[in-house]
Amino acid sequence: MVKHSHAIKYYATAAGAVFTALAIILSLRLILKHRSIINGPSPLRNPKEQWKIIYILAMTPLFAISSFVGLIEWDANETFIMCLDSVKECYEAWVILSFLTLMYSLAGISLSKKTIPPNLAKKHIHQIAPLSWFLSDWPVNTSTLSNLRMWCVQFILLRPILSIISVYLESVERYEEFSMYFSVALNISVTLAVYALMMFYHTFEEELASQRPLAKFLCIKGVVFFAFWQGVIVQGLVYYGIIHQGKWYSVEELSTFIQNFLVCFEMGLIFTFANAYAFSIEPYLQKPKSN
């Protein structure tokens, strides 16, 4: 039994190492391509947009590395695990804002210069349920677009504050008393931030069609929500006894190990390839002239 348990952990950790290496290598390769264009002569290069893309691309290897550390330290104390997750989730908040800013740039919107293309200024931002039940549509102007940005900024501000408090409470063994309140606050905050992305995407879907906005949006939403809902499912399996305590490991260690392994797999074999399509370097390359 001991040998069997160690064999499973060994092979899963080895596979996780391969997936993590893929996430790092493929993401770094695409990041370096964008960097070379930023520093190169291409007249189509756009440093402002491409740096936002680089920030987004860095999220995939960060998630993979964080989860792989969890694989090899699956019996680490809760404070260490929470610190690791907090770093990852704070960066996730920054990526959400970077993505919205990127979408603004691709649409030709500049809040600092208060510039909105005339064809976009005629549109309205449609509310999505449940906010559509008590909020009317918004006209497209710098005020409403700033509001969408603030919905993302609040997540950036709240996430590190709650992380610091959570780590402190865990270190004094009192986190469980407040965990429900933290979960509710974070879920409301991240949902509001992603809601802002969804409203912008649905409003300007046609104008951004050539920029693969759906693929970009799904990459961001996938990384942000995949791990979260996956964790909920794993906890549900624990609750119903499908994942249960073994002789050589606790149910918490096993559920954390499964979650970390799945994230390594998804980052290495799903999202790195999805990012390569969604955040391609092609729009920033000089097109060769046909003879």
Structural domain boundaries of the chain? 2-284
Q: Looking at the domain covering 2-284, what would its CATH class be?
A: mainly alpha
Phi, psi of 115 (to 5 degrees): -110, 125
Cα dihedral 115, 49, 144, 186 in deg (nearest 10) = -160
The residue among 71, 70, 64, 69 whose CA lies nearest residue 91 is: 64
- pLDDT at 217 (0 to 100): 83
**279-282 — which CB contacts under 8 Å span 24+ positions?**
279/30, 279/53, 279/56, 279/57, 279/216, 279/219, 280/212, 281/30, 281/33, 281/34, 281/37
| For residue 148, pLDDT beyond 80 | yes
Asked if pLDDT for residue 75 goes beyond 80, the answer is: no
Kindly tell me if the per-residue pLDDT of 1 is higher than 50.
Answer: no
Taking the C-alpha atoms of residue 226 and residue 220, their distance in angstroms, rounded to an integer, is: 10
Count Cα neighbours of 207 within 13 Å in the Cβ-side half-sphere.
20
**Per-residue tokens: 180:** 């429900």
DSSP single-letter state for residue 139: E
For the chain, the straight-line distance linking the first and the last C-alpha, in angstroms and rounded, comes to: 70
Q: CB of 267 within 8 A of CB of 284?
A: no
Nearest residue to 203 (alpha-carbon basis) of 257, 124, 103: 124
Range scoring the smallest mean pLDDT among 79-83, 212-216, 223-227? 223-227
Q: What is the pLDDT of residues 98-135, one digit of tens each?
A: 999 998 998 889 888 888 988 888 888 887 777 778 77
